[in-house]
Amino acid sequence: MENIFLIVGLGNPGAEYAKTRHNAGFLLVTKLAERWKAGWTLEKKFNARVARAERNEGRVLLCEPQTFMNSSGETVGPVVGFYRVPLNRLLVAVDDADLPFGEIRLRPGGSSGGHHGLESIEQHLGTREFARLRIGIGRKAGAREITDYVLGRFSAAETELAEKVLSAAADQTEVWLKAGIQKAMSQFNGQVEELKS
């Protein structure tokens, strides 16, 4: 089987959700596509935007499900099956309100942590054993209801750090592709500001 990797960024399609905190996964795969000069195509059979790149003698598929976040598995399951992507070569990037803003955390598997996009993917793949890169977006102090915050855009003050976070997450993804998950975790997990200073 060819050397194939799948990197899925989770988010919601449509202009009203573009660049919102909840679309951190979309923002990451967009950044990778720009770095690798990979063009996007809409693949209707998967209901996804897909970009292809060659990296380290392997083929990498970047994927943005167009199903809306909570049904992401409806895209990811068929893409994994069609391209026969081994689960250890699948990486899903998501926003995480339980991680402080500015922090990234890559893990080889684990619970969805209540993230409906991850829950949907776990359901369709029948396993939790796939890498997930959580991009911390934090939450408003004292606020229990986080929908408005999560679906809001980064403030002007946050935008600079958000860019640094996405760059670090993109670097981490490239290390994952080249050197494996352990190296990528030990090198990048944590608060981005501290890592880059």
What are the residue numbers of the active site? Answer: 22
Q: Give the DSSP letter string of 14-47.
A: SGGGTTBGGGHHHHHHHHHHHHTTPPEEEETTTT
For residue 64, what are the contacts with CB-CB under 8 A and spacing of at least 6?
8, 9, 11, 13, 25, 26, 29, 30, 40, 48, 49, 50
| DSSP character at residue 13 | -
